[in-house]
């Protein structure tokens, strides 16, 4: 277990990739705070950027493993690569994390709580990850109670560019990816694909049968300038996932179960800029479809399955009446659909949600930025929900010091399953609501070679939906409270060395008043986590690095009767260029073969080694 530590010790000895990638201008621009590109020091919200260089250096396959080294993030995975994985931000439920891929909401309308399963999401096609921590429903609508995880694929290169990679390692694991992109006149675009397969491990900790996994992902982008002021933007993303998993009806145990997923993500938008860019408009249609089929035995017809889709229309306008003032406003309409078959029954449900919002960003003087906004969502089932948010960023010394403060409200609409399921649905459910408060400071020293950040937060959530054993229905029976501290440190004492660190303390507890649960820690959310990472580029071309992650004790259940012991994971990596276009790389994960669990009864990988080659042109 992790013992309590002083903040000064953490700042001097712990690290994370959260600030390892702040060297390029692109990392000073964020999108999740306001829905438009803006400088990081214009917002008072806590945001981490994981850039393409960091993703490449870490050699990480699972997006979840990258997120796990970010402050405020906790995760759980139910076994082998590809198995169900959830991400919690600042102690919120995993279903209260909003996920975007290339700007499209991908939370699954067919899931019990509209959550996103990170299991099939691998890093092959991903080039940038932005994590916003704290409630922000003014900009993002439903589900942004804990925060937002936004993932983007590669931006088309100027001219022509291509890169590819392939690797092999533990448990007969093979992966490969390739991307091609370019720009010719008014047209830019790119396509990419990745493939992954492994024999895996037993998802049941007590099992002996390996659970294999296959994954294919593809992405495409096309942007066409139709004139000086008008452009067309098309994006697409696809995942096919094929997983052997162990039965979860009762304690996890070896079984022949199979899960298949097809996930389709699409975006089509028009962008218009008028009055020398003082007024810009974006109108887009986005589409998500998740088809999930489950088989008790491979090779047979599916025994049950779910299909969820979400068709959205978005309009966003940005008015810049003065250089230091912006007004962002918009309208959204979405129609989530849910279909189920299996066990002798079928079900099909849908809803309509209409939303309007407005957000103002003002800089009264160069060192102060103020943001405030309001949103109203009208749901065809439960009616309306109005949310507010405000934040500020003040720098007295030209950006070397930034003092941040934010207030954010969040709401989450009941899922279609929770509303309409024939056995446990409750059509009278109200939306979950949250209020989130942040106070933080960022300090840059020695011309940016040292960057420190400290954030304190608290979030109260009411009307949280949970299954009520007394009525066998879902109900608004929970209240939760999360508070804590996040600290990060990034050091670059010499150009060749990058050291990054994070520590987060999260006290997330049940406040429902129910005797069996009130005051108990929320499940699978460790109070403390530390991550330390260092990378060194040697003069002869070799790059070496290591990451150490320590996670404290937690519980697997709401009654705090099933403990999960804390753990420490270490990994090392290296890469070496050959010529100007080829790079060899390799890594060892879980170097000391730690035995641990993120979900009780489910297996985890022991020590595992991988090696590969990258090509770029």
Tokens found for residue 111 = 């899931």
DSSP character for 494?
S
Mean pLDDT of the chain: 93
Rounded Cα gap, residues 105 and 124, in angstroms? 20
Contact 573, 587 (CB under 8 A): yes
pLDDT classification of 6: cutoffs 50, 70, 90: very low
| pLDDT over 80 (residue 3) | no
Q: What percent of the chain has pLDDT over 70?
A: 96
Predicted confidence (pLDDT) per residue in 504-524, tens digit:
999 999 999 999 999 999 999
pTM: 0.94
User: Long-range pairs for 191-194 at CB < 8 Å and ≥24 separation?
Assistant: 191/218, 191/219, 191/220, 191/221, 192/124, 192/125, 192/153, 192/154, 192/218, 192/219, 192/220, 193/125, 193/217, 193/218, 193/219, 194/122, 194/124, 194/125, 194/218
Predicted confidence (pLDDT) per residue in 292-351, tens digit:
999 999 999 999 999 999 999 999 999 999 999 999 999 999 999 999 999 989 999 999
Q: Spell out the residues 6+ positions from residue 323 whose beta carbon is closer than 8 angstroms to its own.
A: none
| pLDDT over 90 (residue 423) | no
Predicted confidence (pLDDT) per residue in 448-471, tens digit:
899 999 999 999 999 999 988 888
Rounded Cα gap, residues 497 and 492, in angstroms? 6
- Burial (CB count <10 Å: 0-12, 13-18, 19+), residue 372: middle
Contact 521, 483 (CB under 8 A): no
Q: What is the mean pLDDT of residues 525-534?
A: 97
pLDDT classification of 2: cutoffs 50, 70, 90: low
Helix H or strand E segment including 497: strand 497-510
Domain ranges in the chain are 7-147+158-616
pLDDT at 27: 61
pLDDT at 157: 86
Per DSSP, the three-state class of 249 is coil
Q: What is the CATH number of domain 7-147+158-616?
A: 2.40.170.20
């Amino acid at each position: 277990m992790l013992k309590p530590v002083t903040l000064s010790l953490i700042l001097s000895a712990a690290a994370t990739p959260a600030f390892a990638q702040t060297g390029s201008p692109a990392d000073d621009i964020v999108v999740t705070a306001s829905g438009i590109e803006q400088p990081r020091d214009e917002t008072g919200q806590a945001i981490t950027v994981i850039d393409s260089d960091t993703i490449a250096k870490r050699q990480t396959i699972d997006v979840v493993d990258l997120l796990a080294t970010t402050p405020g993030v906790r995760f759980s995975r139910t076994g082998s690569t590809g198995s169900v994985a959830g991400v919690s931000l600042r102690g919120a439920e995993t279903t209260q994390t909003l996920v975007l891929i290339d700007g499209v909401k991908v939370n699954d309308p067919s899931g019990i709580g509209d959550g996103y399963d990170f299991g099939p999401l691998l890093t092959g096609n991903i080039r940038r990850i932005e994590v916003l921590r704290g409630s922000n429903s003014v900009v993002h609508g439903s589900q942004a109670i804990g925060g937002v995880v936004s993932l983007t694929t590669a931006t088309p290169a100027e001219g022509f560019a291509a890169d590819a990679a392939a690797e092999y390692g533990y448990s007969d694991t093979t992966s490969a990816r390739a991307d091609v992109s370019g720009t010719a006149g008014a047209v830019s675009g790119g396509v990419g694909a990745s493939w992954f397969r492994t024999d895996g491990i037993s998802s049941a900790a007590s099992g002996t049968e390996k659970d294999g996994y296959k994954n294919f992902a593809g992405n495409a982008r096309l942007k066409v300038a139709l004139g000086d002021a008008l452009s067309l933007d098309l994006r697409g993303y696809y995942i096919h996932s094929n997983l052997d998993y162990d039965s979860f009806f009762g304690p996890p145990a070896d079984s022949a179960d199979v899960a298949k997923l097809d996930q389709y993500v699409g975006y089509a938008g028009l962008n218009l800029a008028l009055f020398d860019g003082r007024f810009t408009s974006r109108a887009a249609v986005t589409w998500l479809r998740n088809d999930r089929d489950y088989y008790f035995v491979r090779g047979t017809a599916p025994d049950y399955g779910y299909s969820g889709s979400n068709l959205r229309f978005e309009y966003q306008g940005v008015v810049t009446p003065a250089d230091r003032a912006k007004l962002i406003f918009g309208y959204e309409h979405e129609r989530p659909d849910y279909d189920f078959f299996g066990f002798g029954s079928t079900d099909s449900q849908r809803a309509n949600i209409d939303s309007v919002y407005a957000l103002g960003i003002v800089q009264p003087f160069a060192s102060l930025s103020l943001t405030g906004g309001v949103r109203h969502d009208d749901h065809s089932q439960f009616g309306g929900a109005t949310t507010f948010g405000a934040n500020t960023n003040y720098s007295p010394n030209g950006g070397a010091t930034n003092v941040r403060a934010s207030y954010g409200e969040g709401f989450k609409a009941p899922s279609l399953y929770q509303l309409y399921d024939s056995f446990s649905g409750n059509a009278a459910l109200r939306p979950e609501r949250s209020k989130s408060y942040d106070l933080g400071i960022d300090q840059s020293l020695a011309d940016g070679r040292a960057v420190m950040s400290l954030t304190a937060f608290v979030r109260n959530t009411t009307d949280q939906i949970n299954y009520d054993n007394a009525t066998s229905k879902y109900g608004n029976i929970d209240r939760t409270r999360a508070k804590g501290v996040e600290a990060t440190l990034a050091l670059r004492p010499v150009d060749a060395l990058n050291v990054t660190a994070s520590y987060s303390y999260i006290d997330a507890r049940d406040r429902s008043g129910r005797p069996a649960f009130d005051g108990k820690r929320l499940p699978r959310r460790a109070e403390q986590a530390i991550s330390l990472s260092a990378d060194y580029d040697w003069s002869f071309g070799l790059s070496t690095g290591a990451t150490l992650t320590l996670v404290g004790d937690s519980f697997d259940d709401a009654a705090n009767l099933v403990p999960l012991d804390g753990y420490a994971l270490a990994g090392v990596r290296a890469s070496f260029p050959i010529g100007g276009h080829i790079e060899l790389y390799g890594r060892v994960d879980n170097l000391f073969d730690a035995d641990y669990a993120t979900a009780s009864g489910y297996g985890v990988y022991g020590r595992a080694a991988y090696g590969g080659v990258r090509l770029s042109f």
